[in-house]
Amino acid sequence: MMLSDITPTDQAALDHVATRQDAMLDRVLGWARINTGSWNIDGLTTLAPMIADALRETGADVEIVTTPAIETINAKGEVDAFETGPVLRATQRPNAPVQIILTGHYDTVFPPETFTTITDMGEGKLNGPGLADMKGGITVMIEALKTFEAFGETEKLGYTVILTPDEETGNFASDSFLRAAAKKAHIGLTFEPAMEDGALAGARKGSGIWDIVFRGRSAHAGREPEKGRSAVWAACEMALKVEALMGQRDGVVFNVGSVDGGAAVNIVPDNAVLRLGSRAPDPDAAAWAESQIMAALDDVLKRDGITAHVHGGFYRPPKPRNAAQDRLIGDVRETAKGIGLDLVFNDTGGVCEGNNVFAAGTPNIDTLGVRGGRIHSSEEFMVVSSLSERAGLATLILNRLADGRMDGPAIKKLML
Q: Which of 278, 295, 316 is the last residue of a domain?
A: 316
Residues 95 and 197 reside in one and the same domain: yes
Residues 266 and 363 reside in one and the same domain: no
**Domain annotation covers residue 101:** yes
**Domain annotation covers residue 311:** yes
Residue 135 DSSP class: I
Q: What is the CATH number of the domain that holds 33?
A: 3.40.630.10
**Domain annotation covers residue 287:** yes
Query: Is 80 tagged catalytic?
Result: no
Q: Is the pLDDT of residue 169 over 90?
A: yes
**Domain annotation covers residue 268:** yes
- Helices 386-403 and 8-19: crossing angle in degrees, nearest 10, is 150
Residues 330 and 311 reside in one and the same domain: no
Residues 188 and 219 reside in one and the same domain: no
Residues 292 and 325 reside in one and the same domain: no
Check residue 395 and give its pLDDT: 98
Residue pair 126/384 in contact (Cβ under 8 Å)? The answer is: yes
**Cα–Cα distance, 67 to 178 (Å, whole number):** 12
Q: Which of 282, 316, 350 is the last residue of a domain?
A: 316
Tens of pLDDT, residue by residue over 229-252, are: 999 999 999 999 999 999 999 999
Residue 136's nearest CA partner among 111, 162, 110, 108 is: 108
Tens of pLDDT, residue by residue over 189-205, are: 999 999 999 999 999 99
Of 10, 133, 143, 167, which is the active-site residue? 167
**Domain annotation covers residue 3:** no
Q: Is 302 exposed, middle or buried (0-12, 13-18, 19+ CB in 10 A)?
A: exposed
Beta-carbon contacts of 67 under 8 Å, excluding residues fewer than 6 positions away, are 83, 84, 85, 86, 87, 165, 166, 173, 174, 177
| Residue 276 backbone phi and psi in degrees, to 5 | -140, 160
Domain that holds residue 238: 206-316
Check residue 220 and give its pLDDT: 95
Element (H, E) at 358: helix 353-359
Q: Which of 284, 316, 348 is the last residue of a domain?
A: 316
Query: Is 353 tagged catalytic?
Result: no
Give the bridge partners for 275, in sequence order.
211, 258
**Domain annotation covers residue 135:** yes
Q: Is the pLDDT of residue 416 over 90?
A: no
Q: What amino acid occupies position 51?
A: I
Tens of pLDDT, residue by residue over 345-374, are: 999 999 999 999 999 999 999 999 999 999
Of 107, 175, 237, 260, which is the active-site residue? 107
Q: What is the mean pLDDT of the segment spanning 16-34?
A: 98
Q: Is the pTM of this model over 0.85?
A: yes
Q: What is the CATH number of the domain that holds 254?
A: 3.30.70.360
Element (H, E) at 285: helix 283-300
